[in-house]
Structure 1
Amino acid sequence: MKLHQAFDIARGDVVAFIGAGGKSSTLFNLGHELAEMGWRVVATTTTSFGLDQLELMPYAVTPREGMGTLAMALDEFRFVFVYDEIRAEKVYGPPLNFIPRMLDSVASDVLLIEADSAGGRPLKAPFDHEPVIPPETSLVVPIASLSVLGQELDDEHVYNAQAIIDRYGFGEGQRVKSPWVAQVLRDEMLGLARVPDNARVVALLNQVSEGYLRGRARLIARLILRENRVGSVAIGSARAADPVIEVQRPVAAVVLAAGMSRRMGQPKVLLPWTRKMTIIEQIITQLILARVDQITVVTGNRAGEVRRLATTRGVEAVHNPHYETGEMLSSLKAGLAAMPPHISAALVVLGDQPRIQPKVINQVLMAYAEGRGSIVAPRFEKQRGHPILIDRRYWPEIMALPDDGAPRDVINKYRKEMAFVDVDTDSILGDVDTIEDYIEQRRRAGLL
C-alpha cells in the first residue's frame, strides 16, 4: 500500500510529520508518490534538517526568490522544497507566517511539512516548544520507529527520554517495551502535543517488516487506538516501494438481534446454544475473542432480555423502534446511527449466526487493514456470507435507503470496491430461521 492511500491524502491537505524515526523519509516518499500522480507538491520544514537531505529533493527554492519562481518550479518538477537558509550544514525552514501566504499565492495540491526534530533517534518526547505545527495543518502524522524496542530508555536512544521517565515512572536505562511506544504516541502531552484540534491524526509505526515485528506493531497500533484522537495507525517501512503493509483502524461490530423470529415462533437469539449461553451470548463471545474494538447489539423483540445479556458481557445495546415492521435495514440503520465518530467501519453481524468464528472475523479485518477492499465479505465455495465489513464512507447511502431497500443495494453498487475472503468453513452461510435450522446448526457445531 502506498503512503497516500494509508494517510487518505486529499487535495488541499497540509500534512505535518512529527515524532521520530522516519519523518524525512516519509515526507520524501509521499512527495514523490503524489508528484508521480501529477500532483503539485510543496514541502518545507518548521525546524531544520541536514543539508544532505535537501539534496534528495528534485528542486528547492527560498521565499526571497518569489512566489512566481515557486510556481514555475512546480510546473516543471512537481515536487519542490521551500527553505529559508542554510547554516552550519543545516537547512532551516521559512517563518511560520510565510506558510499561509504561500498557500494563498501558489497553486499547489498539497503541502508537506517536517514539523519536528529528533536528532536521528527512533522515539521522542517533545520539549515544551516542540513540535512546531502550523495552525493550517489538516493532517498530523506522529511517527516512531520500532527499532527502539529493546533499546535503553536514555538520551542516547530516545530523544528527551527524561520526559517519558517523569511522566510514567519508567526507570532510566530500562529496555523500551511495546506498550511504552503506544503510551508515548497516544499521549496528548507527548506524542500528540500541540496537534491542532481540527486536524486528523494518522500515526505511522516505521521500520516494520513481516513476521514477529509486524505482530508487535499490530499490538502497539491497537493500544494507540484506545485514544480516539488517533484515527488510524499505519504499519510499514517508509523507504520501501510499497511502504505500508497494513493500516489498523477502529472497527465496530453491529449485531442485528431485533427480529421478530416469526418462522421460529420464539425469539431465536434467546435460544440456548450451549449449557451456559444463548445464541446471542455465543455471538458476543466470539466477537470478544476476535478483539473487535466495539460491539453494539441492536435490540427489538424482547429488548429487555437481549439488552441484559449484552450489557452483562460489557457490550452496548441500542434499540430499533421499528423492529416489528422494519426489515434488516432498519436495524442496521439504528446500529450505524449509534456509532461514535472515531469508528472507521462496521462489521455487520447476523444475530442468528452462532457458529461465527473469530478466525473468520480476523480474516475479514485483516483484508480491510491491508487495503484489499473498503467492503469485505467472507466467501465459502463462491457463496458470500456474513459478517460483512462496510467502511464508513458508505454509511450515508445506507442511511438514505428507503424503507423497502436493503443493505445489498449499496454493497452491489460498489462491487468494484469489494474484496472477498475465501474461508474454509460454511459457518458464514448458516443462520437460524426455523427449528430445523437450529437443530442442524447445533449438530454442525458438535453440540448434538
Structure 2
Amino acid sequence: MKAGDIMSISAIILAAGYSRRMGKNKLLLKYRGKSLIEHTIETIEKCGFSEIILVGRNKKIIEIGNRYGLVVVKNQNADKGISESIKLGVIHAKKTNGYMFFTADQPFLDENTIKKLTHEFTENYDYIIVPKCDVRHGNPVIFPISFKDDFLKLQGDVGGKIIINENLDKVKLIEINDGWELFDVDTNENYEYILKLEENNEYV
C-alpha cells in the first residue's frame, strides 16, 4: 500500500457448516427475536466494510443473505470442510486489503469491537489481527491479502488457525474488553444458556 490509499476489508461470513454437535442449523436459532445469522449480519452492516460476503449451503441461510443484499455464494462442497467456504469467500472478494472472517455464532459480538479490530488492521495491515480476552483467543480474525494463496491451498476441515500457527511472527493480538464477545454457540447447552439470559433479561 501507498500513503493515502483507502483501506478496504472484505467481511466474509462462513455460514455453510452442518452444526453436527447441535443436530440442527444453529445459525437459524432465535435469540432476542432474530436468528443468530441475522444478528451477525446486522452487526457487520454497521461497520463500514467494503463488501459483505456470505458463504452458505442451507436454503434459508441463502435467502436471508439475499434479503439483506449481501454477496451470497453457495457452497456446493460444504461436506469437504470449512476450507471450501474460506476459499469461496476469498475467491469472490473484490479488490481488498484484507479478509475478516466471521463464524456467525457469536451473539454478543459488538460493532465497537469489530471497529476496534479493523482500526488495528489499518494501522498494521501486514499483520493477522486476532481478538483476545485474558488468555482466550477467538473470532473474528482479519488476514492481510498477502495470505490469499495460503487460503486457496487449504484442504479439508482446516481453517485459518493453521495459517496463524505457521505465521506467529505476523500475528497481532488485540485485547478486547468483554470476553463474552468471544462466546460461541456450539452446543445445545450453549443455546439454552443464552435463552436463560434472555428470559431473565440478563443481556450480556
Q: TM-score, normalised by structure 1?
A: 0.43
Larger Rg: 1
RMSD: 2.0
Could you tell me how far apart the structure 1 residues matched to 2:126 and 2:136 are?
18
Q: Distance in 2 between matches of 1:270 and 1:297?
A: 14
Q: Which runs of 5+ in 2 are unaligned?
A: none
What is aligned with 1:305? 60
Q: Which residue of structure 1 lines up, in the alignment, with residue 70 of structure 2?
A: 315
What does the per-residue CA deviation read over 1:26-67, in whole Å, with 9 as the maximum and x for residues that have no partner? Answer: xxxxxxxxxxxxxxxxxxxxxxxxxxxxxxxxxxxxxxxxxx
Distance in 2 between residues matched to 1:299 and 1:332, nearest whole Å: 11
Match runs of 1:113-152 below 5 Å: none
- 1:360 equivalent to 2:110? Answer no
Residue 296 and residue 377 in structure 1: after superposition, are their counterparts in 2 closer, same or farther (change >3 A)?
same
Does residue 285 in structure 1 map to residue 42 in structure 2? yes
CA distance in 1, matches of 2:52, 2:196: 27
CA distance in 1 between partners of 2:100 and 2:12 (Å): 6
Deviations 1:122-143 (A, max 9, x none): xxxxxxxxxxxxxxxxxxxxxx
Q: How many residues align?
A: 201
The yes-or-no answer on 1:271 pairing with 2:45 is no
Q: Letter of the aligned partner of 1:253 in structure 2?
A: A
Residue equivalent to 1:39: none
2:9 matched to 1:256?
Answer: no
Partner Cα distance (2:182, 2:83) in 1 = 19
1:306-337 Cα distance to aligned partner (Å, 9 max, x none): 111112122121111111x2222221111111
CA shift at 1:372, angstroms? 6.6
Counterpart in the other structure of 1:326: 80
Deviation for aligned residue 1:368: 0.7
CA distance in 1 between partners of 2:177 and 2:195 (Å)? 18
Q: SS of the counterpart of 1:307?
A: helix
The answer to whether 1:398 aligns with 2:156 is no
Contact 2:84–2:155 at 8 Å: present in 1 too? no
C-alpha distance 372-395 of structure 1, shift in aligned 2 (>3 A): closer
**Closer/same/farther in 2, CA of residues 404 and 295 from structure 1, 3 Å limit:** closer
| Distance of 2:149 and 2:196 partners within structure 1 | 40
Note the 1:58-77 alignment, pairs <5 A. none
Distance in structure 2 (CA, Å) of the matches to 1:419 and 1:369: 12
1:381 aligned to 2:138?
no
Tell me the CA shift for residue 394 of structure 1: 0.4
* Higher RCO, Cα 8 Å, sep 6+: 2
Change (3 A) 1:286 1:404: closer
The runs of 5 or more residues in structure 1 that have no matched partner are 1-5, 8-201, 205-231, 234-248
Q: Is the 8 A contact 1:378 1:387 kept in 2?
A: yes
Contact 1:373–1:418 (CA<8 Å) still a contact in 2?
Answer: no
Distance 2:129 2:112 in 1: 15
- Given the superposition, is the C-alpha separation of residues 441 and 327 from structure 1 closer, same or farther in structure 2, using an over 3 Å criterion? farther
Query: Do 1:253 and 1:346's aligned partners in 2 also have CA atoms closer than 8 Å?
Result: yes
Q: Please tell me whether the aligned partners of residues 367 and 373 of structure 1 are also in contact (alpha carbons under 8 angstroms).
A: no
Would the aligned equivalents of 1:430 and 1:441 in 2 still touch at CA under 8 Å? no
- TM-score, structure 2 normalization: 0.90
Letter of the structure 2 residue corresponding to residue 254 of structure 1:
I
Contact 1:252 1:293 in 2 (8 A): yes
Percent of aligned positions with the same letter in both sequences?
Answer: 22
Question: Which position in structure 2 is the counterpart of 1:294?
Answer: 51
Cα 1:328–1:258 change in 2 (3 A) is: same
User: 2:132, 2:176 within 8 Å by CA — same for their partners in 1?
Assistant: yes
* 1:375–1:391 contact (8 Å) kept in structure 2: yes
Amino acid at match of 2:87: K
Q: Which has the higher helix share?
A: 2
Contact 1:355/1:441 (<8 A) preserved? no
Which of 178, 191, 200 is the equivalent residue of 1:438? 191
